[in-house]
Structures are given as structure tokens and as C-alpha cells.
Amino acid sequence: MSRIGNAPVIIPEGVTVTIDNNIVTVKGKLGTLSETIDKRITPVLEGKQVIVTRSDEQKQSRAMHGLYRALINNMVEGVSKGYTSQQELVGVGYRAANKGQILELSLGFSHGIVFQLPAEVILVTETLKGQNPKIILTSCDKQLLGQVASKIRSLRKPEPYKGKGIKFVGEELRRKAGKSAGK
């Protein structure tokens, strides 16, 4: 029994959902998203909610039932509220600046890094005196936002000894003791 798949997706005010040939399209104030649903899963629009059902009890169908319900819910929440990801650059001389959709990073390499973001992601960089520089990403597409944030983080992952690198705000890093710990 899929508990997530059985829960209906509530559609808030200002959001329209259309289902056509197993393609779910969600429109809201922040944008439009669409997703192709597998043939074994049937989304049905009933009033102000979407109910997702499955055709059989096979293991793959049960897994997809909860998956597609969660994807539809993420689309509805994305076009109504949006998603935000914040990252901070920890390290001496680490800087971030943006020119439109181009992110320019200085991460201690011999050269600067220029990163082009997709048009669906809104980029803001924040540099305050006495604090680490921040990169703030906003989008209505949760999957795309996570993918872009992960790609930026992979440019300089936090190292376990001093914690230098790009980390998510609020992320707890696993720290290791240095050489003196062995004595």
C-alpha cells in the first residue's frame, strides 16, 4: 500500500492543472511545468485535487505510484511557491559574482570559473563584510534547481579538515582531526 501515492494533491488558488494523454501540465504565477506519466499510472483531476491511481499491484507499479504523485505535488508547489537553494563559499579569497545568468567564481584555483545557468533558475550572489559569500538559487522546477546546485557544489566540495569549499547553508560537515590527533 502506497501511503504517499494514495494522498491527493491539493491544488491551491491561482494554479491550473491539465491532464492530456498522460501528460500533466501545471501552470501558476511562477511558470509552467509538465511531466509525462507512465501508462501504468493514471492521474485524475477531481475538482481542486489530483488523485493518482495505479493499474495493477506489481512492484514497479507500486513504486511509480508514489513517485508520480510526489512529482505532481512538487510541480504544484513549485509554480505556486517556488524553491530556493542557498550555498556558501567557505575559504580565504573565495568569491562569487553574477552577471545575469553567468556565475563567476574564484575558488583558489589559478583561474576563475565561469558557470552558465539555465534560464529557469534565478541567480543572486550576496557578499557581506565579515561573512562568507552566498549563492542563492531560485526556481519553480525542483529537479533542475537541485541539479544546478549540485553541479556548483561539485566545483569545490568541502574538504573534511578545514571545511573549505562550497557547502549548502545549514549543512553539517563531517570533520576529521588533523595530524596531531594520532599522537
- pTM score, whole prediction: 0.88
pLDDT digits (tens, 9 = 90+) for 169-183: 988 888 888 887 555
pLDDT above 70 covers what percent of the chain?
97
**What value does the mean pLDDT of the chain take?**
91
CA separation (Å) from 38 to 2, 9, 61? 17, 18, 9
**Which of 80, 111, 145 marks a domain boundary?**
80
Q: Which range marks the domain in which residue 27 is found?
A: 3-80
Kindly state whether residue 177 falls inside one of the protein's structural domains: no
Assign residue 28 the CATH number of its domain: 3.90.930.12
> H helices then E strands: how many in the chain?
3, 13
CB 28, CB 74: distance < 8 Å:
no
Grid coordinates in use for 60? 514497479
pLDDT value at position 173? 87
pLDDT value at position 11? 94
Kindly state whether residue 176 falls inside one of the protein's structural domains: no
**Which of 33, 58, 80 marks a domain boundary?**
80
pLDDT digits (tens, 9 = 90+) for 86-132: 999 999 989 999 999 999 999 989 999 999 999 999 999 999 999 99
Kindly state whether residue 173 falls inside one of the protein's structural domains: no
**Cell 507499479 sits on residue:** 61
| Domain identity same for 60 and 104 | no
pLDDT digits (tens, 9 = 90+) for 10-65: 999 999 999 998 899 999 999 999 999 999 999 999 989 999 999 888 999 988 99
Q: What is the DSSP string of 20-75?
A: ETTEEEEEETTEEEEEEPPTTEEEEEETTEEEEEESS--HHHHHHHHHHHHHHHHH
Count structural domains, the chain: 2
